[in-house]
Amino acid sequence: MTNSQADRPTNHDGATRLTTPFSSRATAEEVIAGVDLTGRRAVVTGGASGLGAATVRALAAAGAEVTIATRSPRSADPVVEELAGIAGVGRVRAEALDLSDLASVDAFARAWRGPLDILVANAGIMALPALALTPGGWEAQLATNYLGHFALATGLHAALRDAGSARVVVVSSGAHRNVPFDFDDPHFARRPYDPWTAYGQSKSADVLLAVGARRWAADGITANALNPGYILTGLQRHLDDDTMRAFGVMDGDGNLKPLPYYKTPAQGASTSVLLAASPLLNGVTGRYFEDNQEARMVAGDEDTPGGVAAHALAPDAADRLWEYGTTAVLGG
């Protein structure tokens, strides 16, 4: 092996880690510059605000027809109206989708017509202060962040296949690093509920969803997960002021103040858009990205920022979770 080969970063399976020319501060518009998505169709969950809205803007500006899937379609009116009528921008519309309700997910998937080129699983909830269960008995963060998206992706599988070369993008979080999926007690029936443990578990499940979707490669479907970084959005709505102050992002008067390493929504959405539309990702599947690069694998207790934990990329765990999710969806 030459020195140049030895210096090239590798991922979990020994293959060269994918790198791109885009920095951690690149915007969604910058990573998609020059890409023409005219005639392509995309669904972005949670696309009415925050990272989702920034993702919608970038995909639509490249010409894609984008459906915002959200619990309250009227909440997407500002984004839809902002983009309507702008020359070269793809049509944007909103449809109802409640990821915590499998009947709602099923209705959305059944109503879809035609091929689907891009599915961005962006919506999520974080750190619910008390244990909440869905009618199906699932812990609410796991149900919304993982199961709803799993049900949506599998429900739209035929539409993704019919596109010929479709991409699934799953928004995860660095919170996955210390929390493997607990197959023995995923819904906190026996262990004490902790908001951050529940959130981290749901985000490990999100990465495993992308790994498990490797079974769709023969259908021309690729799937990858990502950590968007630190951004102040509606995701923090369940955190009280004391917690926000402890994180250093709120002053004594209740004003939000992003820390220097925080990103804007447009910067945070860049990795989502990169995975959704960049030709640099052609044929790439089952990987985890951050700051517009494929992440390195880290140990769960490693005291460094970033990276992906081995438990989130384990094929056996991904297959086990796929079966677990399938049983829940069919049983729901």
How far does Cα 99 stand from its chain's mean position? 13
Residue 5: DSSP 8-state: H
Residue found under tokens 């619990």:
71
Concatenating the DSSP letter of every residue in 230-243 gives ---SGGGGGS-HHH
Catalytic residue among 199, 261, 262, 288: 199
Q: Is residue 193 annotated as a catalytic residue, yes or no?
A: no
Q: What are the residues facing 66 on neighbouring strands?
A: 42, 92
Residues 6 or more apart in contact with residue 156 via CB below 8 angstroms: 43, 109, 112, 116, 119
Cβ(95)–Cβ(73) below 8 Å: yes
Cα(79)–Cα(46) distance, rounded to whole angstroms? 12
Q: Can you state the angle between helices 270-277 and 50-61, rounded to 10 degrees?
A: 40
Residue 120: DSSP 8-state: E
Q: What are the residues facing 224 on neighbouring strands?
A: 169
Cβ(204)–Cβ(309) below 8 Å: yes
Catalytic site residues? 199
